[in-house]
Amino acid sequence: MKPQEWYPQAVEDLGRTASSRTDFSFDHSMLVLASKLDDQDFDLRRVIAGIDGVSVHRFRFQSYGMYDPGMLAAIRQQYHAAGWQHVSVSHARDGGPGEAELWLHFEHNTIRNIAVLVAGANQVNFVSVSGSISPIDLMHLGGHFGIPRIQGGVAIAGPHNGVDQYPPQQPGY
């Protein structure tokens, strides 16, 4: 099994309970071809050069709270058991439903795979990226290939209060 093809069984279990789902994958050659559609986005082309594949799983549920939060806990446990590092969790600013999580899988000292889970009130999106990539590179992929745009930054542990925002937030946001 190729690295980008592995994801926790709990993701598949969650998808079985969805009212609708969309699953698709791009291998490296498909990503290169798609990146040529926007020949002005040099950051995107640079990032794609190191990516082996991208898989996206989008699950929609009929109404608020229709997915089992225990399945999200099972996803976390399966990543942990497979040796992935849980890097970040963020929750909705207004205290409402929703969270985003980031996991990294290392090969020696290099990030080899990244997985992002974005859960909302009635939807769950799961994105897996395989290849040589950094969390910052993931931001350049946002809005392309079915990967949601990263809004509000990614929480990164920092020396001041334990958490800094990247990218830094502009005044008024």
Q: CA dist 32 to 1, 17, 24, 45, 82, Å?
A: 22, 34, 16, 7, 29
**pTM of the model as a whole:** 0.71
Between residues 65 and 117, the one the model is more confident about:
117
Residue 70 lies inside a defined structural domain of this protein: yes
Q: Is the pLDDT of residue 67 over 70?
A: yes
Q: What is the largest CA-CA distance in the chain?
A: 47
Residue 64 lies inside a defined structural domain of this protein: yes
Q: Is the pLDDT of residue 80 over 70?
A: yes
Number of structural domains (the chain) is 1
Residue 29 lies inside a defined structural domain of this protein: yes
Residue 171 lies inside a defined structural domain of this protein: no
Residue 172 lies inside a defined structural domain of this protein: no
By C-alpha distance, which of 131, 137, 132, 171 is closest to 154?
A: 137
Q: Supply the range of the domain harboring residue 137.
A: 3-166
Q: Name the token pair of 127.
A: 């994105």
For residues 59 and 14, the answer to whether their CB atoms sit within 8 Å is yes
For the stretch 7-18, pLDDT in tens is 899 999 999 999
Residue 123 lies inside a defined structural domain of this protein: yes
Residue 173 lies inside a defined structural domain of this protein: no
Give the confidence band of 145 by pLDDT, cuts at 50, 70, 90. low
CB crowding 144-171: b at 16 or more within 10 Å, else e: bbbbeebeeebbeeeeeeeeeeeeeeee
Give the confidence band of 146 by pLDDT, cuts at 50, 70, 90. low
The β-bridge relationship of strands 123-131 and 110-119 is: antiparallel
